[in-house]
Amino acid sequence: MNKELVIVFVKNITLGKVKTRLAKTIGNQAAFEVYKALVKVTENATKALETPLRVYFSDAVVDTKWKEAYKAVQRGHDLGERMKNAFLQGFEDGYDRIVLIGSDLPDISTTHIQNGLEALKQTEVVFGPAEDGGYYLVGMSKMYESIFDNKPWSQSNLLEETLQELQTNQVSVSTLELLNDIDTFEDLEASNFYKNNKLLQQKIKQINA
């Protein structure tokens, strides 16, 4: 059995429910198109992995996405509880090194995910820090439920607070390359993902014409 597992958390691509901060500037339809393109980036990043893959959707399983992967619906009241449940299931099923990523990162690559798994051979926990103070990847070689309990989700001190707690408890942690996710139109405009995607640019211009 391959002892490594990759988990992907995906929001169902529903008009009006994705990239809501971005939608305030460019509208729901354009934000929907952006998120659709970001999910595609995540799909491509996980395609080349030889590691088992589990994809957890926010509301309902979508059969047309990640056709070969195990798919389920996230369980829990908040993001922390949903991630914790996914990790608990993975460890219960016998995996030793587990990383979880989101699905809205423009620069995520197969290498970032592999680096996360590799880091877990040396440390018990790994994070991929995001520029907004959160993280785009979290991984563990041993279950630490406290990572997901009573945390300031969507706040700029999320990772800092989590790292401080782990340090206090003498848990070994490594961090990966800093990446930026897309929450605002400024984030979108600054990203190579957008600059290099002429089709997406045209769609957004047409929608907002």
Percent of the chain with pLDDT over 90: 83
Q: Is 12 exposed, middle or buried (0-12, 13-18, 19+ CB in 10 A)?
A: middle
* Sequence-ordered strand ranges (E) for 142-183: 173-175
Per-residue pLDDT of 179-191, as tens digits, reads 988 888 888 998 9
User: Distance (Å, rounded) from C-alpha 3 to C-alpha 146?
Assistant: 23
pLDDT for position 55: 97
Q: Give the number of other Cβ atoms within 10 Å of residue 121's Cβ.
A: 10
Q: Average pLDDT of 19-41? A: 93
User: Distance (Å, rounded) from C-alpha 126 to C-alpha 63?
Assistant: 30
pLDDT band at 102 (very low <50, low <70, confident <90, very high): very high
Domains in the chain (CATH in brackets) are 4-204 (3.90.550.10)
SS3 call for 139: strand
Per-residue pLDDT of 83-92, as tens digits, reads 999 999 999 9
User: Distance (Å, rounded) from C-alpha 30 to C-alpha 146?
Assistant: 37
Per-residue pLDDT of 107-159, as tens digits, reads 999 999 999 999 999 999 999 999 889 999 999 999 999 999 999 988 899 99
Query: Per-residue pLDDT for 50 more than 80?
Result: yes
Average of per-residue pLDDT values in the chain: 94
CA proximity to 105, closest of 42, 58, 43 = 42
pLDDT for position 1: 59
Query: Per-residue pLDDT for 14 more than 70?
Result: yes
pLDDT for position 94: 96
pLDDT band at 104 (very low <50, low <70, confident <90, very high): confident
Query: Per-residue pLDDT for 68 more than 90?
Result: no
pLDDT for position 209: 77
